Structure 1
Amino acid sequence: MDMTEVAAEEPPKKGGRMGLILLIAVVAVAGGGGFGIGMSGLLPLPFGPTEAEHSPAESHAKDPKPMENIAYYHLPELVIPLGKTAYSRYLRTKIYLETNQNQEQIIRNTEPRIMDTLNVFLRSVDERDVSSVLAMETLRAEMLRRVQLVTGEDAVHAVLIGEFLLR
């Protein structure tokens, strides 16, 4: 048997690079489509929070505070330089904390720590982080979580932004 006979017996290669490219494209489209359907809520994802955990109606339903017992605690105005690339831009904000009247003393006692926490957090914020309504809601939720770490979860129910100016 010589070399020409061995070469003739091998089956020809199928697909090659074109098959690999086609396979990658199909997998990418299927993965992107599945991700889009899962994130849109059409199909439940096997991970992450359930709808009940994120439902605004559910979070208000379990809120124990009566409306007549609400108090708003006004924090001192914050003036903060924004991010590393925004040296000439400042954020000036007035923040109110929603609480129960019987929890106001906790906020008064921890106000220096609350101010420090908000200062440190807001200094890490970039201009892009405050450019849309959705970004503002995320920012408000982040501030609430940090305030609750200082005061305890029952002391503060919401962070309200009275003024939010970029200069």
Structure 2
Amino acid sequence: MKKPKKEKKPKKAKAAKGEGGDAKKGGMMGKVALILVMGATSFCTVFFLPRSEPVVTIVAADADAHAKPEHEEVPEPEKIPTAFLDMKSFTVSLKGRERVLRLGVALELPEEMIDYVDADDAQLRDAFMGYLSAIDMHQVEDAAFLVRLRAQLTRRAKFILGDDAVHNVLITDFLVR
């Protein structure tokens, strides 16, 4: 007996571009090739193109007479005579924990203002205490705390005494217990 012949299945035609199949691989390869070409172009642009030469200007012969001397003397800045005024220490409870901050402060003033500024000025002490009493312990633990503290105290001193009356506020004692 003869075996019946199996019917042959028709071969599938390759999918056209954009219909799926291998078209996806070609798209990915195209993107990779594009990235490689762009990278190579950028590399060649940076490393192989000639660099621009410095611009040379020609100056008239009499320009040397008007030129600045090479080593011009720079005058030293005028030093403003300053004086330091120590204030009584501040002792403040820190918020958040049962800790106490003791702070010593000195005002840097122009020398002529030393007679007009009182180290025990109630308004100045009140302005400082208002800021100090709002400090949390986590603020004190920050590395930049002293810089911010000095800036805030200086700002308050200039507000109370005037901009020209205070140059800076210096921290002379800082203790947390």
TM-score by length of 2: 0.53
Name 2:129's counterpart in structure 1.
Answer: 119
CA distance in 2, matches of 1:137, 1:90: 20
Match for residue 117 of structure 2 among 103, 107, 110: 107
CA distance in 2, matches of 1:81, 1:120: 12
Q: In the TM superposition, what is the alpha-carbon distance from 1:105 to its structure 2 partner?
A: 2.9
Residues 79, 93 of structure 1: 8 Å contact kept: yes
Aligned pairs, number: 101
Letter in 1 for 2:79: P
Name 1:132's counterpart in structure 2.
Answer: 142
Q: Deviations over 1:104-142 (max 9, x none)?
A: 233218721111111111000111222233121011101
1:75 maps to 2:87: yes
Letter in 2 for 1:89: R
Q: Secondary structure at the match of 2:121?
A: helix
Structure (1 or 2) with the greater helix fraction: 1
Alignment of 1:5-16 (within 5 A): none
Residues 109, 166 of structure 2: 8 Å contact kept: yes
Match for residue 151 of structure 1 among 129, 142, 161: 161
Q: Deviations over 1:123-166 (max 9, x none)?
A: 00111222233121011101100111000011111111011100
Alignment of 1:32-51 (within 5 A): none
Root-mean-square deviation (Å):
1.9
TM-score by length of 1: 0.56
Q: Secondary structure at the match of 1:149?
A: helix
- What runs of 5+ residues in structure 2 fail to find an aligned partner? 1-76
The sequence identity of aligned pairs, in percent, is 28
Residues 80, 122 of structure 1: 8 Å contact kept: yes
Alignment of 1:52-67 (within 5 A): 66-67=79-80
CA distance in 2, matches of 1:80, 1:127: 12
CA distance in 2, matches of 1:65, 1:91: 38
Name 1:49's counterpart in structure 2.
Answer: none
Q: Secondary structure at the match of 1:93?
A: strand
CA distance in 2, matches of 1:93, 1:109: 15
Letter in 1 for 2:107: L
